[in-house]
Every structure is written in C-alpha cells, then in structure tokens.
Structure 1
Amino acid sequence: MKNILYVIHSGTEGGTFLTNNDLMQNVKESYNVFLLASELNSLKLFKLENDKLILIKKYSRLKWSVKNFHDSWMNYVYFDILNNFKINLVHIRHLLNHSFDLPQIAKKLDIPVVLSFHDFYFICPFYVLLNENNQYCKGICNNNDINCYNPLKSLNDLNSKKIILKWRQEVSYLFKYVDFFITTSNFVKELFLSIYSDIDENRFRVIEHGRDFPKLSDTYFEYPSKKNPIKILCPANHLDLMKGSEVIKSIKKEDKENKLEFHFLGTCFDDVDKYGINHGRYKRDNFYKKVKEIKPSFIGVFSIWPETFCHTITEAWSCGIPVVGSNIGVIKDRILKEKGGWLIDIYNPKKAYNDLLKISNNLNEYQKIQKNISQMKFKTTSEMALEYLEVYNFLIS
C-alpha cells in the first residue's frame, strides 16, 4: 500500500483533528496513514495502527512564529519525514504552527499535495475574518491600522492589516505547489476564488463533511408553546465571542418577560451561562443523551464568524431539531439550502428577539420545517472518504 501524510495544526483533539480522524479511519484500507501534528514547540509524527495513532517521532524546536513563512529547520523535518517514510501523497488540513515550505519540498520529491481549507487561515492569519468591530469583513481589509479580532494568543505579535499583502503573496506562492484544493462548501470555495483568481477551478472540489449517526427512534425536541418558555439549546465546546456569546446575551437582555430559555452545552465564556442553564461539556458520544434530557424546540447557532461547515447544524438536524442561526457564511447557506430552520440578524438583538418569538408562535411553519428535517439524508464518513479517495487516486494513478 502507498503512504499518505495528513498535516494538521494540533495534537489529538479539537475540531480539525476529529474531522480528519473520520477521514483517516476510512482510508486506512487503501493507504498507510501518517499524521503530522504541530504544536508551538514541537512537531509530532504519528502512524495509524489498529485504529490508534501511535507516536513514532517527535521533533522539538524553539517557539513558532506566524511571521516565519520559511524555516530551514522545518525544511529539514519535512524532508526527513517525506523521504524516510516514503510518503506518496501529502494532504494538508492546516498549516497553523507550520511554515509554508512543505508543498515546495513535496514537489521537489514528486509527491502530490492536496490542500484543504478548514477555515480562512490562507486568506488572513486571523482565520475567522472578524474586523476590529467583531464583524465579518468578507476578507476585505479597511484602510486603518487598527488590529482585527485575534482568535489566538500565539498570534499576539501580529497586526493582520500590516501583514496582509505579504501574507497573500506568500500564500499565492505556496498555492503554486498544490495539486488539488478541497473545501466543505461552495461559499468557502467562491470566497477563495474571489481573492486568489489563479487557483485552477478544475482542481478545486467541494466535499461536505460526513458524519455517522445512530438510528434514533425517540423524540429529542418539543414543540414551542406559549404556555412554557421557549427552549433554545446552544451546543459549543467553547461558547465564546466567536460562537455567539455576546449575541445570546444581547438577545436575552431583550427578553423582559422570560419567554426564552437558553440552554448551553460546553464550556461557557464571557459569563454567558448567567443568561441560561449550563449543562456542562459534552462529547460526540453523549450528545444525544444530553439533548434528550433538555428537549429543546430549537438549536441555536449564533456564530459571528462565517463558519466553513458547522457540525452543530448537522447534529441538530440528526435529532430532528430546527436550527435558528446566524445570517452569515455557511450557517446561512446551509439553513436556506436545506430549509432546516430560520436566520436571525446577529447585529440587531431587538429584531432577533422579536423574530424568535414570531418563529415560535407559528406552529404550522415549525411543523413544516421539522418535516423537511425528518426527510434529510446525511452523508456518512465512508461516503465522504470515497470522494477524497477519488482525488487521491487521480493524483497518484
């Protein structure tokens, strides 16, 4: 079997790892799977054996800086891995905590490179596209030098507006050594094409995330009623500013008569748990148990950044629960496309609150949306993997 190297920006947890692991577990019959995960002070190489990731080599280093686009030490590490482990294909899922050298080194060794857009890192190092006012910027910088919203401490030494021209020049150069681009939605694809017009659209494919859900026979929601507060469940392992903590607080402040009851799953930040009921952290495996205990009428997805897929929406629909979500990015696109919920204006809390009450009072519309959801079919992880394998096999055939 041939050897594939996946490249991510963190160890063995977090959203990128989980979605990448779904893919790795489904291609292991076709490829020997290696994983290169980068932390601030080290790179770790794993091999997938018997469904488990085994650490086979650790490369220690000085602290990483986003300003170092190219790094001779990382050049050595990349070459060492590609050469010594006879890698036949590289799939980059993220390059945070990496340098930009890997695609070029792979090309020198005649190894094809696939690059996924997990977020907007290759548009801006502050990868959530929020400006200094915490509003979605569409990848277009304004003319002042006020730093944008910074999602990560390791980027604290950076002003995104001062580096953005250099950043995109370096990214454009990196893209020359990429053989195929993949992302999870047309929205993300079109945004990248609008900024990097040199990308070959024939080598750019949309593959939505697959998920494996259990067959559910129970009811996990309750119909909204004027007799009881309307329960809106907001699941997010980190319910912070980016995930809509301030949006939720602003909406709840409009709720003078306590008609809405927010419920939270995950770690809450910004004191948002004072505006509802916190049910603690959850893992994929116990999501349904938690939801069944709460029985919300809606799942709320109030992210202020334009998410690139949003697994929470898929999880909500797998429970048969309508979504009320942000009117930006993929959240907006998926809700409109699938007719699986309603959009709210995250920049206008008073209007959002009134719209939530209107939605809750229209039982016929709720039942119509819920019926749409009950007829949805979700792509499995094995179906997703087949689409990736088509790309892999095309590149190394």
Structure 2
Amino acid sequence: MEIKVYKKCYLVKRNYMEYKVYNISDNKKILKIKGNFDGFINISISDKTDNGYYFKRISHFNDSVVLLNGERMQNNLYFSNKKSLLFKRTVKNDENLFYWIEKVEIDKDNEMTIGNIDEFEITEAGDLYCRGWISNSIHQVKNIYACFETLSNKENVQKVPLVQRRRSDVRDLFKNNEFLFSGFNFKCSISTTEDLALYISYYSESGVKKMFVKNICRNSDNLNSISFQEGKLKDSIEYEEATYIIPNKYWEFKKHKVEKLIFKHNLGGGAEIFIQKQIDLWRKKEEICALSYISESNQYRIELFTFEKKYTFFCVHLEWFMKEILVDLNEIWINELVSYPNVYNVLKWIDIISDAKKISVNIFIHDYFCVCPRIVLLNGRDEYCRLPDSEKCDNCLKETGSEETNSITLWRRHWKRVLQKCESIVCFSNDTKRLLNLVYKDKDIENKMIIKPHEITPLRKVKIKNDNMITIGLLGNLTEHKGLYKVLQLLNCIKDNNKNNVRIVLIGSCDYPIADDNFFVTGKYIVDDLPSKIEQYNVNVFFMSSICPETFSYTVSEMMELGLPIISYNLGAQGERVGRYNKGCVIPLETEISDVLKILLDKAKESRGYFD
C-alpha cells in the first residue's frame, strides 16, 4: 500500500525527522521511517487495515505546519472521503502550547477535501467563535454544519448551521488547482459542560462529509487521559500527550494581573533580541503580555510571561482579546509593528484605548517604520531616498507597490497621533532623533524623545598576524539595504585591478549567492566568538557597507570593541558613531567604488604595517 503524505516541517536539523508508524486498531508498530522529508513522502506499508494509521514523532524540532502551494497553514483540516493519517504534535517542556492536530490525506485517487480553521476562540462563559474554509476537489460544498459530540459516549448534543462566505484569499492560494471553495464562520454558546468533540460536516453530491476539528476539554484532569475518536475510525487511541485538546486558553490571563502589553515581531534581528532582554528584566517585577503577528497562519501570537512560566496562545480576533482579557492594562510599549496587518487599525486602537483607559504609551525606535512603510528608507532603485517631499514619496510607494498605503501624508498622520500620545520615545542614536524631527517638526514629540544607546557586549581586542593577504571584513547579514551591491562592485574592482592579495570575508550570512574567489562567507556567528573568528581570518579592516541610515547598529558596536579600523558611509547612526571612533573613517555615499577600495587598503596597511 502506497501512502502519499504532503508534509513540510521547519526543523532544527533542516527537514530531517524520524517517525514510527502504528496500526490504529491495535497500536501495533508497523515500521520506522527517517530522513529528509519535504513535499510528498511515499511510504510503502504491507500491513492492511480498514482503520488507518498514525505516526509518532521521534526527533526534536520546532513548530511544524502543513505547506500547500507554498503557503503555510495551521489548525489544519486535510483529509479525503476515506481514511485519515494523524500527525501528533510534540510540545516543548518550557511552554504551554495549546495547538494543534495536523491531518493529511492518505488516498489521493478519489475525492479530496482540504480545509483550515483560521480562528478558534472559546470564552470562559462558553461562547465559541470559529472561522475557516473548506474545499472539495470535485463537488461544490453545501450546507456546512458544526457538530458537537460528547467524548464519553459520542452523543450528538448540538448542531449549528454555518454561514458560508466567499474567500478570495483561499481561491488565490489554490489558483492552480480545480478545487471548489467555501468559507464559513459561526458563533454559538456551548450548552453543556461535558468534554466535547467538534466536527465540521458538509454536503456534496457524493454524500455527507464529517471531519474532526478539535476536542474541547473543560476538565483539566482529562488533559492527559482523553481518547481521540475520528468519524471513520472505529477504535479510540489514548495518547500520552493530548496536545490537540483545546482548553479554555484564556483562563491563565484571568489568574494574573497583566498590566503591561508589548507589541513586537518575530522576525529576528536586534529589535527582537533587545525586547527579549527587556522582558526578562520586567518580568522580575511584573507580569507581561507580548503580542506579535504570524503572517504565515494569519493569526496573533500572544505570550504571557508570569513570574514562573511562559504561556503561548494564538488568536485572530484581536480586538475581542484586548477588550475582554487585558482588563488591567495600564501600559503599552511599541517595540515593533512591522509585519502587522492593517497598521492603521492597530494605531487607531492604541490611540482610542490610551484615551479611554488612561493607558501610558511608549515606543522604541528600532527602524523608520513610523516615517515610511518601506522601513529602511530605500526608493524603488534601492537607493537611500533622503526623505524627499510628499509627492515624490507617494510616487515611490505606488511604484514599489506598498501594501500599507499609497499616501505618505496619511501614514505619518496616523503615526503622529500615536507619537503625540507617547510618554517616551526612545531613540538609540542622535541621528534617529534628527530624522524624526526633520519629518514631524513637532516640539511636543521632540520633547518626549530620549537618547538611550543599546548596551554593548564587551569583547577583547584582537591580535592580527601580518601576512601577504589584506582581508576586508564584513559583519552581519548582507542584504540589499546592508550594501550587497556595493560589495559586489567592490569585488569587481578588486578583480579589475588584479588585487590578488585582497579578499573580503563576511562574518555572517548572505542570501545572495556570490561566486567569487576573493569572497568568503563564514555563516552566522556568536558574539562571544567574534575575536577568535576575526583572528582566524586575519581581518585587517572593517567595511560598514550599509546604504541606509541605521538607528543604532549592533555590528558597529562589535567592530569598535574589536579595535580594528572601520570605514562607513556618512549616514545614520553608523556614520555618527564611526565618525567619533578613533580608528573610524566616514565617506560620502556617492564615493566611487575605486576610491572606497583605496581607502580600505590604505587603512589596512596603516593599521597593520603593510607596505607596497
């Protein structure tokens, strides 16, 4: 028997995983599989059963989701009109994650249903809100119902008709397939206090389809003993970790007095490192809620940091969560709003709630999102825009296809209202304050700005050996706004001038493949390992190649700590700080690349005793 499983996981060791496959009837292990799984996995099973199989994961990994046509989904319904294959999700010990069971279809030869639960909320009062979509590979989807059955005896206690909705986003997701779609949503009160199983059923020309969604467990004593029952599976299975059970997610918030809310993102980088350090400091004195948006699954990640534990929840209906759950809120910190959908609505909500509840609002300026939705202030030609007039800004937003707005005036008007409400606007450099003043020209906003540079990790000074090679060092992640094209021009200049004793070493990573004998990439680094890394590659001079104004630049801090010469363009916090550094040299952004190379070589030779 051939099983096709559409599965992609984001694992610690790439896509490597190990599974044991069990017969669902008698829990008998059939085989063990391992390897790099990406896309459809073909598995041969000689044992035959009418009841199906389930997998148990062996390896340790992070969050995994089903991937369909390049889009990630969570809370998945993914099954055929015959059997279902279960993926049981492992939970990290240090977090209380209440999601999900993932289902994938076994038999692709016949009619297939794919769907997703986009939103699933249960209030303490027992009201349930659910939103999602279903698609059928052959027939039109009609008459969708939510069915509730008791877990104890499978008695049908409630059946709720669902409102069908058009879902153009889903249609676009599967535009290359012949699926027929229907969105749905419903809101109802659960009339019993028993533990329930929720199914979604619908009618197609081939009959009624019934699909398991979630177990709703009211009794916490049942969390590790509840049995799973799927509509077409005769026997139940008892798992050690019933991680697919959805308890009332917000009970924990009711137990704690959460007064501080943080808006942040999960995109990595200095902003995320900074706020995590802040959270670790703040949670010693108070309990905190951190909010971020997960674009892959169209939902918000809510982290509750208590004195002892961290709880993680997910929701889509953000306004309800803010209104009903964060009742004790008195302080908001905006660390990042990059990646949030409809930033105007978020800013409007912050504006309204700060007035209604007299909540203190504060912001950390990690980038220039409050100035322009393009964040790094590069125009459509990937050049620093130098903040032109509003007409040119609007043209740029239209040309680059900004998802946020086509009007820079409207964008800054919304941000200005929030900045005026702020008690503190924390800038990490004088140049950041200068740029904000240049844009907003508001004394009230200026008076709230605080200059507070990041703390710097102390590093030992390096000792570089003199050899026949001059090494120009780059630090961090090399992207377009970090000067990728400047580095490519520099490599061409080295080659054109036959500088065979000159190389560029990137201590970090680069998404763009650079095939050049004079260019080397070491990969991501640990800050404490930097001195030994620099000595290993005999770096003589650093080039801070960023072509947009930074708000601080951790990499400049690390370069300065190492004690080597630094060449930087004269803009942003990087130009400000390198200009004050006794081994620093700032140059205009328009400097010809041949002159940039000459300056780098001169500084390297001057510093390390090289002579022609």
TM-score of Structure 1 vs Structure 2, range by shorter chain: 0.7 to 0.9
Shift of residue 209, structure 1, vs aligned partner: 0.6
Residues of 1 paired with 2:609 and 2:259: CA distance?
51
The equivalences for 1:72-111 within 5 A come to 73-83=317-327, 86-96=328-338, 97=340, 98=343, 99-100=346-347, 101-111=349-359
Contact 1:129 1:136 in 2 (8 A): yes
Q: CA deviation at 1:125?
A: 0.3
Q: In the alignment, is residue 319 of structure 1 matched against residue 575 of structure 2?
A: no
Matched letter for residue 205 of structure 1: I
Q: Which residue of 1 aligns with 2:119?
A: none
Match of 1:202 in 2: 447
- 2:511 pairs with 1:269: yes
Map 1:147-166 onto structure 2 (within 5 A): 147=396, 156-158=401-403, 162-166=406-410
Matches of 1:106 and 1:158, distance apart in 2 = 27
The reply to whether residue 26 of structure 1 matches residue 266 of structure 2 is no
Q: Which amino acid aligns with 1:300?
A: F
SS at match of 2:421: coil
Change (3 A) 1:143 1:6: closer
Residue in structure 1 matching 2:269, options 1, 9, 14 = 14
Residue number in structure 2 paired with 1:283: 526
1:228 and 2:468 equivalent? yes
Secondary structure at 1:47 match in 2? strand
Partner of 2:479: 240
Shift of 1:296: 1.0
* 1:35-50 equivalent positions in 2, closer than 5 A: 35-40=290-295, 41-49=298-306
Distance across 2 between alignment mates of 1:273 and 1:148: 33
Residues 44 and 55 in structure 1, CA contact (< 8 A), matched pair in contact too: no
Assess, with a 3 A threshold, how the Cα gap between structure 1 residues 242 and 200 changes in structure 2: closer, same or farther.
closer
User: Greater shift after overlay, 265-274 or 140-149?
Assistant: 140-149
In structure 1, distance between residues paired with 2:385 and 2:305: 39
Distance across 2 between alignment mates of 1:149 and 1:335: 35
- Return the match for 1:184 from 400, 408, 428: 428
User: Which of 1 and 2 has greater Rg?
Assistant: 2
Amino acid at match of 2:479: D
State whether structure 2 residue 605 is matched by structure 1 residue 361.
yes
Match of 1:116 among 364, 384, 391: 364
- Compare the two structures and name the one with the higher helix fraction: 1
How far, CA to CA, are the matches of 2:398 and 2:519 in structure 1?
Answer: 26
| Structure 2 residue matching 1:120: 3-state secondary structure | coil
Deviations, residues 177-232 of structure 1 (Å, cap 9, x unaligned): 32221110111111111211224332211111113436x3xx52427x6x522212
- Counterpart-to-counterpart distance in 2, 1:47 and 1:295: 45
CA positional deviation for 1:243: 1.1
Deviation at 1:281, TM superposition (A): 1.9
176 and 77 in structure 1: CA distance in 2 versus 1, 3 angstrom threshold:
farther
What is aligned with 1:294? 537
Equivalent residues in 2 for 1:241-256, closer than 5 Å: 241-255=480-494, 256=497
Tell me, yes or no, if structure 1 residue 349 matches structure 2 residue 597.
no
CA RMSD of aligned residues (A): 2.9
Structure 2 CA distance for aligned equivalents of residues 167 and 212 of structure 1: 36
User: Aligned partners of 2:308 and 2:428: how far apart in 1?
Assistant: 25
Q: Determine the C-alpha separation between the residues in 2 that align with 1:196 and 1:81.
A: 35
CA distance in 2, matches of 1:51, 1:209: 27
How far apart are the structure 1 equivalents of 2:282 and 2:398? 37
Alignment match, 2:37: none
**2:239 corresponds to which residue?**
none
Post-superposition offset of 1:344: 3.7
Contact 2:427 2:450 in 1 (8 A): yes
Shift of 1:146: 5.0
- Structure 2 spans left out of the alignment, 5+ residues: 1-256
The change in CA–CA distance for 1:104 and 1:142 in structure 2 (over 3 A counts) is closer
Kindly indicate whether the alpha-carbon contact (under 8 Å) linking 2:265 and 2:292 is maintained by their aligned counterparts in 1: yes
SS at match of 2:387: coil
Q: Which structure shows the bigger proportion of residues in strand conformation?
A: 2
Q: Secondary structure at the match of 1:264?
A: strand
Q: Aligned residues, how many? A: 339
The letter of the residue matching 1:278 is: V
Does structure 2 retain, via aligned residues, the 8 Å contact 1:262–1:277?
yes
Could you tell me how far apart the structure 2 residues matched to 1:365 and 1:48 are?
53
Is the counterpart of residue 333 in structure 1 residue 589 in structure 2?
Answer: no
Q: How far apart are residue 334 of structure 1 and its match?
A: 0.3
Whether the 8 Å CA contact 1:123–1:139 is kept in 2: the answer is no
Q: Percent identity?
A: 20
Distance 1:337 1:106, change over 3 A: same
SS at match of 2:506: strand
Mapped to 1, the partners of 2:514 and 2:324 lie a distance apart of 47
- Counterpart CA distance in 2 for 1:302 and 1:314 is 14
Q: Tell me, in whole angstroms, the C-alpha distance in 1 between the residues paired with 2:389 and 2:593.
A: 26
Paired residue secondary structure (2:433): helix
- Report the counterpart of residue 56 of structure 1 in structure 2: 312
| 2:456 paired residue number | 211
Gaps of 5+ in 1: 61-72, 367-397
Change (3 A) 1:163 1:277: same
